Structure 1
Amino acid sequence: MAPVQPQNADAHPPWYTPQRLLALFCWVTFLVYLDQGVISSNGVNRQIQVVSYAALTLAFPPAQAQFNVGNVGDGTLPSAFLAGLLIASIVYSELTTRFNAFRMIGFGFGVWAIASVGCGLAPNFWVLLICRVVMGAGEASIITLTGPFIDDVAPPAQKTLWFGVLNLFPTLGIAAGYIFGGLIGPLLGWRYAFFIQALIGLPVVIWALLASPINLQTMHDDEDVPSNTLAGVYGTAPLAKTGWLTSLGRDLLILGRHPVFVLNMLAYCPVQGAFGSYIFWGPKAGYELFDLPQETIDLTFGVVTIATSIVAVLLGGLFIDMVGSSIRNAMIFCSAGALVGLIVIEAGFMFAPSFPVLIGMFALGELALFAGQAPCSAVQIWTVPVRLRPLASGMGTVTQHLFGDVPTPPFVGWMQGVFNDWRLTMGLLTLLLSVAVVLYAIGACLPGKDYRPVGQQRALRADKVVPDLDPEGASLLRGGSGNRVSHVRYVMFASMGDRARS
């Protein structure tokens, strides 16, 4: 990988357009999450119990059956990527200051593809587990760097919508992975699912490593300070040359001093935990509550989750762009969505008299929850210094998994074992969303600097995409290395009223 070189911001390779870059990142994100669906699918990873393709499955037993692994050990495979993701996300974010970020995406995706082949060749469970960890290290480059790239290239008035488009593909990838693994496993054997997905990803790896790269912005003209100082956080003293670990610790400390970023990151953890538990336990709860065919319940929950995610993520991003893509608007929108989701889903699980009523209320609640994904992703990028965006993206993803969908499903299983009442268990799970409601609301009340370029914010105000509440905002936002940035305090309802009147 070549070191980062100074560049003209307007100089781009011939292949580049913002739309092509978005399409490329959407495809890469789809493939990464396709793998997560594959490793969880019945065709690739389960014990042989009830089988549709009996003869073929006996010839090609799934991984869990072939390696004779129990449910506890097998349950580590879908989440093993987190170990690699946790470490590599931090590494990639620091390397963006030394190497071209686009090349790093190609390198990371290449690691992912090689580890996918390793999964297919694994002679035993432990090798398979190690390859899963390495795949997480590879996909960390995509999860860490695609968000900052999208914020760089998206049209200013459509940034939240572009985040919404990118956020569609994790759900679509996982859903496609269930289908892909379920078909390939019985027909060719579970190993071929990993070989095929690596082969599909190979052209992207070659392209990202050999094509003329684009550069990720490492500093905007409205940054508090140059990249070698900490003015605005600790004063104006330049940073001395330090080791990698010292630099990382300093950067993490800077992120921690941005309260809106921290609140936004923590607020999404209960939402992520609820999503993970609904996906895992929702069909089982519906089956035991209403005694309908398991296939009907599984299919219905799956279709509802995919459909609501597509509609809500796009509408949420579009709505924030229309009413004003300010940080405060985004945080209040996320808080309101979590509140609506909490009320509707709680009522559905506690009181729905039939499965159609439950699934209808569940769909409405998921629409409200999914609508906050794009604004949440945007706030994660906009509320930190630009050079720290990759680290912020990586830390956000790791935190959402570590405190969200990894611990919550086992905890829900424990609660059901204690209460033996699915309505009470799912009702208590849904109450977790109240934490998100409160944290988002607190974040909306705090003054937080918007690190988007001053020129971009001026353009948004001029187009009335964001309410022009501070006519002197441009000069205040620029702030010199010795000046503190003044934060504009306002109430969201007033800002939306100004927007409506305009």
Structure 2
Amino acid sequence: MNRRDAVAALAVLTSINFLNYIDRYVLAAVFEPVKRELQFSDAQLGWTLSAFMISYSLTSPFFGRLGDVLTRKHLIAAGVALWSFATAGAGLARSFWQMFVPRSLVGVGEASYATLAPTIITDYYGQEMRGRALAVFYAATPIGSALGFVLGGSLAEQFGWRAAFFVVGLPGLLFALMALAIREPRRGFSERSAASKTAPPSLFQTYRLLWQNKTYVLVTLGFVAYTFALGGLVGWVPAFLERYDGMTTAEANQIFGAMTVVSGFLGTFAGGFLGDYLLRYTKNSYLWVSGLSMFAGAPLSVLALSSREPGIFLPAIFTAEFFLFLNTGPLNAVLLGCVPAEIRATAMAVNIFFIHALGDAISPPIIGALSDRFGLFRATLLAPAMMTASGIILLSAIQYRYLRRSGSRQR
């Protein structure tokens, strides 16, 4: 194992992550033509999106456990192949269930990838470079998501919505082969641990270890609050811009989409590099960056939602999103770094389950229900409130670590 192997693995896994988010969001880009041809109701359209999130959340813990005991690149390749076939298969749908089932299988395939790819990167990159490596990997999130909408819409307009699924789905089979070609490091390689020589604990013991790891628990709770806020804003800001700022549907989506791509890319990269740089001053740099970015983003979100002047609310939205994405690399770095190497895949999987089940899967409907009762402006203020809660939780993890070290010295 050398630096070339690490760079090659990061390049392949990041490329697959682009495809991951393209395939995830291509359906949303072709909602209207699918609705017209297959005569879906809006509720059925919504369930085709939920099909992915349900299977993704439920199967993540399963793949986490497999990733701790089996060869991870084999599981990743199988997952990429499955979701690629399933994405293309959605283009053959003639009914609701023929769309629902393939989209559920996309969630299963992506669960295999999302739980395991970060653990391989963590095993290749030590703490001094881990934040940057994970920032590169997660920078694919905003860009891939945007490409899913752009490619889906363009392909549907020129060749029909079915072609969109075929074109973005089938190339994944090549990426599955590329995943098999990477050299997988032994678990704990970056820490020079002997995880690969030690049998992982039982599933019950693993869950108990995670529950007893207060840093992991606090980071996961902070992650849940962060994901809740991000999901709520992404889901409702375009509608907010239409209702309160007089934009058309196209204008709201284009402006917010463009700001999300740019702010997400810049924020993700900046957070990874800043977290690694500050490691020379404090071992809790990742938590400081993540927690303080939440405190910085919350008031900016309130300003963006309160102002009706484009010269104020547009820069405020952009900057708030920048701070939201700033913690992506550092937060994942501390999450994976605070658990033993032999249970990292399960730790990642459990985190994925909770941040989606209690985060972005429920925040849009909760804000929608509050909007029906109190109006959208008041309802969306829940997002900056959750950002503040996330910041408090993440900074409390620093205090816990400090108190634990102090207690160890006294003993």
Aligned to 1:39: 27
Q: What letter corresponds to residue 344 of structure 2 in structure 1? A: R
* 1:345 maps onto 2:301 in alignment: yes
Does structure 2 retain, via aligned residues, the 8 Å contact 1:100–1:216? Answer: no
* Counterpart-to-counterpart distance in 2, 1:212 and 1:359: 42
Aligned to 2:322: 367
Aligned to 2:133: 162
The structure, 1 or 2, with the larger RCO (C-alpha pairs under 8 Å, 6+ apart) is 2
* 1:208 maps onto 2:162 in alignment: no
**Identity of aligned pairs, percent?**
22
* 1:217 maps onto 2:187 in alignment: yes
Does structure 2 retain, via aligned residues, the 8 Å contact 1:339–1:434? Answer: yes
Task: Please list the CA deviations of residues 429-487 of structure 1 after superposition, one character each: whole Å capped at 9, or x if unmatched.
Answer: 32121210221121111128xxxxxxxxxxxxxxxxxxxxxxxxxxxxxxxxxxxxx96
Aligned-pair CA distance for 1:287: 1.9
Would the alpha carbon gap of residues 229 and 199 (structure 1) be closer, same or farther in structure 2, given more than 3 Å must change? closer
Aligned to 2:335: 380
TM-score (norm 1): 0.75
Would the alpha carbon gap of residues 91 and 327 (structure 1) be closer, same or farther in structure 2, given more than 3 Å must change? farther
Aligned to 1:324: 279
Aligned to 2:349: 394
Does structure 1 retain, via aligned residues, the 8 Å contact 2:195–2:341? Answer: no
1:258-297 aligned within 5 A: 258-297=213-252
Q: What letter corresponds to residue 312 of structure 1 in structure 2? A: G
Please tell me the root mean square deviation across aligned C-alpha atoms, in Å.
2.5
Aligned-pair CA distance for 1:222: 4.9
Aligned to 1:307: 262
SS at match of 1:384: coil
1:56-95 aligned within 5 A: 62-95=33-66
Does structure 2 retain, via aligned residues, the 8 Å contact 1:330–1:379? Answer: yes
SS at match of 1:122: coil
Does structure 2 retain, via aligned residues, the 8 Å contact 1:328–1:445? Answer: no
Would the alpha carbon gap of residues 221 and 119 (structure 1) be closer, same or farther in structure 2, given more than 3 Å must change? same
Aligned to 1:22: 10
Aligned to 1:249: 204
Does structure 1 retain, via aligned residues, the 8 Å contact 2:195–2:342? Answer: no
Does structure 2 retain, via aligned residues, the 8 Å contact 1:312–1:368? Answer: yes
1:132-143 aligned within 5 A: 132-143=103-114
Aligned length: 405
Task: Please list the CA deviations of residues 126-151 of structure 1 after superposition, one character each: whole Å capped at 9, or x if unmatched.
Answer: 12111111111111121011111111
Does structure 2 retain, via aligned residues, the 8 Å contact 1:100–1:215? Answer: no
Would the alpha carbon gap of residues 117 and 347 (structure 1) be closer, same or farther in structure 2, given more than 3 Å must change? closer
Mean alpha-carbon deviation: is it higher for 122-131 or for 372-381? 122-131
Give ranges in structure 1 of 5+ residues lacking alignment: 1-9, 47-61, 231-246, 449-485, 491-502
Aligned-pair CA distance for 1:229: 7.7
Aligned to 1:199: 170
* Counterpart-to-counterpart distance in 2, 1:429 and 1:96: 34
* Counterpart-to-counterpart distance in 1, 2:318 and 2:157: 32
* Counterpart-to-counterpart distance in 1, 2:68 and 2:257: 41
Aligned-pair CA distance for 1:250: 2.5
Aligned-pair CA distance for 1:226: 7.2
Greater C-alpha radius of gyration: 1
TM-score (norm 2): 0.91
Would the alpha carbon gap of residues 418 and 136 (structure 1) be closer, same or farther in structure 2, given more than 3 Å must change? same
Q: What letter corresponds to residue 395 of structure 2 in structure 1? A: A
* Counterpart-to-counterpart distance in 2, 1:72 and 1:358: 32
* Counterpart-to-counterpart distance in 1, 2:25 and 2:219: 27
Aligned to 1:409: 364
Aligned-pair CA distance for 1:347: 2.5
Pairing partner for 2:95 from 124, 130, 147: 124
Mean alpha-carbon deviation: is it higher for 101-110 or for 76-85? 76-85
Aligned-pair CA distance for 1:343: 1.3
Does structure 2 retain, via aligned residues, the 8 Å contact 1:272–1:401? Answer: yes
* 1:181 maps onto 2:137 in alignment: no
Would the alpha carbon gap of residues 207 and 372 (structure 1) be closer, same or farther in structure 2, given more than 3 Å must change? closer
Q: What letter corresponds to residue 60 of structure 2 in structure 1? A: S
* Counterpart-to-counterpart distance in 1, 2:4 and 2:98: 39
Does structure 2 retain, via aligned residues, the 8 Å contact 1:268–1:436? Answer: yes
* Counterpart-to-counterpart distance in 1, 2:107 and 2:267: 28
Aligned-pair CA distance for 1:349: 1.4
Aligned to 1:471: none
Pairing partner for 1:434 from 376, 381, 388: 388
Higher helix proportion, which one? 2
* Counterpart-to-counterpart distance in 2, 1:427 and 1:120: 39
Q: What letter corresponds to residue 342 of structure 1 in structure 2? A: A
Would the alpha carbon gap of residues 97 and 187 (structure 1) be closer, same or farther in structure 2, given more than 3 Å must change? same
Would the alpha carbon gap of residues 95 and 226 (structure 1) be closer, same or farther in structure 2, given more than 3 Å must change? same
Would the alpha carbon gap of residues 180 and 216 (structure 1) be closer, same or farther in structure 2, given more than 3 Å must change? farther
Task: Please list the CA deviations of residues 325-371 of structure 1 after superposition, one character each: whole Å capped at 9, or x if unmatched.
Answer: 76522112211110111112112312x14123111112222222211
Would the alpha carbon gap of residues 206 and 348 (structure 1) be closer, same or farther in structure 2, given more than 3 Å must change? closer
* Counterpart-to-counterpart distance in 1, 2:19 and 2:159: 20
